[in-house]
Every structure is written in structure tokens, then in C-alpha cells.
Chain A
Amino acid sequence: MNTVLDEIKTIPGIIGGFVFGVTHGIQMNNLPPVFKETNLNKIGKVLDKIYRSSKAGSPDITELSLYYEESTIIVRPLGKTAYLIIMSEPSLNQNLITMSMNMVADEIIQMGETLDSAAENLDSNTQTQSGKEISAEEIINNSPLSEQLCGMQTSLLKIIGPMAKIIFKDAINAWIGSNNPSESSLPRLVEILLNEINNSEREEKYLKMIAPYVGDNGTDV
């Protein structure tokens, strides 16, 4: 599958690229070694959030391009849970990259389907193992923890603004994917949310705001 990336990299001006799966992380990568995989995983997560938030505002979106002084990043979704991410020099014509991505479109679609089905398998395994098929919405609005969770969500809205609902829902999904949703596992949810905020000053402020909902356990992460 790396041949797709290698084909695209033959275009002068392309630095390289990687395939990022939301549940599987980096699937392939032909960027120069200076780009560490741990960093690429973080970048993949941010790009996934940018894509999903963009989709919320413009449902017809097919591709994202981020333009920086030093380089351009093109993000194309592969199915529902993965992305092909290409980096190029800023002077390179984007139509050329898009055309080369279109030329390998079939292989790209196949990659996406493979990653989607792998993600679905992982999801169903996780749900079967923990015996819970409950949605984030239900947990937030109709569970014994509703009061705490609604309070945490409102506090998050004050910290990070309008995307808080989407991020909170994602965090709940990540939390119930690996934990039993209970008061004793709330610190894990807090930990996930702090990772999302990713700013020490705001994290501290958020911890103070949610203290009434999570108690000492929750703020001791």
C-alpha cells in the first residue's frame, strides 16, 4: 500500500505523506525521518478534528488544504475513519497534487474501506467485551452521571468555546470505549478532556470549574 504514497512522492515538490487511521494511528508513512511518528499521531488527531468540525459547518467538503509559510498540508478522507495526508512545498500547485491523488483514487478508496472495516471490528469487539452499546448522548443526558457530565460539558464550553459539544461527545465515546462509565472512572474522562484542551493555563481553570462535579478524585489527574 505504501506504493500509493511513493507514487505521489515522485512529483517534485512533494515532501511525503502518511495515512492516519482514527483508531489505528499511523498506517503508512514516507515523510523524512525528521517527522517523528509520535508527533504525526498528534497531528493526525488534530487534522481529524479539523475535518470533522469543517464537515459540521460545510457538509459537502471533500478535501482540506492547510497553507503555511513553509509548506502545504493536503488532507483527503479515506472512508469514515482514515485520512491520506500529503505535505508539499508551498510553491507547488495544489491542482497537481489533487490530480495525482485522483490518479491513485481506486487504491485510496480501497485503503479507506480496509481501515473502516478494521475500525468497525475494533469498535464491535470493544462493545462486546464491555457489554455496553450505549451512546454518548444517552450517557450525558439520561444516566445517573448526567448532572456531573452536563456540568463538565458546560464548563468545557466556557473554556474552549463552540466546539465543546463535539469534543465532549468524542471524549465520552473514548471514555466508555475503555472504561465502565461510573463515578470511580471519572478521572479517566477528565484526563481525556485535559488532553483535548492541551493548554496548561486552561486545563487548570477547567479543573477548578469541574471540581464541584468530579470531587477530589476527578481533579487529581
Chain B
Amino acid sequence: MATKFNEFADLILQIPGILNYILVRKDGHIIVHDFTNPESLSASIIYSGLSCEAIKPMMGLTYFKYLGYTLKNNEKLLVFPLGKYFLGISHEAEAYTPDIVDEVTQIIDSITPKKSK
């Protein structure tokens, strides 16, 4: 199982412009990552991701695609829902977020049969 997660991480890292990644399970367990200090980041990713899901019924929204944090240096951190997990990736300021999102979504779609709405 760990190898599968590592293969997935390798695919993510092949996307040009990606700086770091973290895959966390919704119960707080960190599966794989290459961030220096993943502990507080993983907690905030899970809490933010779950809260983004919680807003859906309040606004009549159906499918949460991803959450983006813009940082002071214009780098971005993106959080994608992935079944029981959340995937967090950071990308360079120069990279174009929609392109990164397209590539990450393609990888996610290739490993998950259907989007869970």
C-alpha cells in the first residue's frame, strides 16, 4: 500500500512547478509528504478541507473541487479532496494554477474510478 502512495507522490512531483506535497487521511494520519514541518500543516489541511465540504449544503453547492491558499510570496498551496484523504501541494509563484489543477486532476482521475459527489 505504501508503495502505491509513493508512486502517486512521484507522479505529482513530475508536474512542472510543484514544490512540495502532502497526503493526509481525514483522521489526521499523514500518509506521505515532503514538507519540512508537516504536523501543523496537516491539521489545517484536514480542518479546512472538511469545512469546505461543510459549506456545500449552506450554499446549495454540490462538488468541492479544491481549496487554494495564496501566500505572501505568491506561491500557492492547493488542497484537493481525495475520498478518505486530502492531497496538499504547493507550487511556484510562476506556475499557472489552472494548469497545475488540470494535471493534478488528471492524476487523481486516473487512480479513482469516479468523482464522489
Spell out A's residues near B (CB within 8 Å): 35, 39, 42-43, 46-47, 49-50, 53-58, 60-71, 73, 94, 98, 161-163, 198
CB distance from B33 to the nearest CB of A (A): 12
Spell out B's residues near A (CB within 8 Å): 27-28, 40-48, 51-52, 54-56, 58-73, 77, 97
Residue of B nearest to A69 (CB): B63
Docked-complex contact B72 and A60, CB < 8 angstroms: yes
Q: Are A161 and B28 also in contact (CB < 8 A) when A56-B43, A61-B70, A198-B54 are?
A: yes
CB pairs A–B below 8 angstroms (14 shown): A46-B54, A46-B58, A49-B47, A54-B69, A57-B41, A57-B44, A58-B77, A65-B70, A66-B64, A67-B66, A68-B56, A161-B28, A162-B46, A198-B54
Across the interface, which residues of B come within 8 angstroms of A198, CB to CB? Answer: 54
Across the interface, which residues of B come within 8 angstroms of A63, CB to CB? Answer: 69-70
Docked-complex contact A60 and B63, CB < 8 angstroms: no
Docked-complex contact B69 and A42, CB < 8 angstroms: no
CB distance from B79 to the nearest CB of A (A): 9
Q: Are A53 and B48 also in contact (CB < 8 A) when A66-B67, A67-B65, A68-B64 are?
A: yes
Q: Which are the 10 A-B pairs with shortest beta-carbon distances?
A: A57-B44, A162-B43, A69-B63, A163-B47, A65-B68, A63-B70, A57-B41, A60-B72, A67-B65, A68-B61
Residue of A nearest to B63 (CB): A69
A35 touches which of B41, B59, B97 (Cβ 8 Å)? B59
Docked-complex contact B55 and A58, CB < 8 angstroms: no
Cα–Cα, bound, A161→B48 (Å): 12
CB distance from A203 to the nearest CB of B (A): 14
Cα–Cα, bound, A6→B10 (Å): 45
CB distance from A185 to the nearest CB of B (A): 27
Docked-complex contact B72 and A62, CB < 8 angstroms: yes
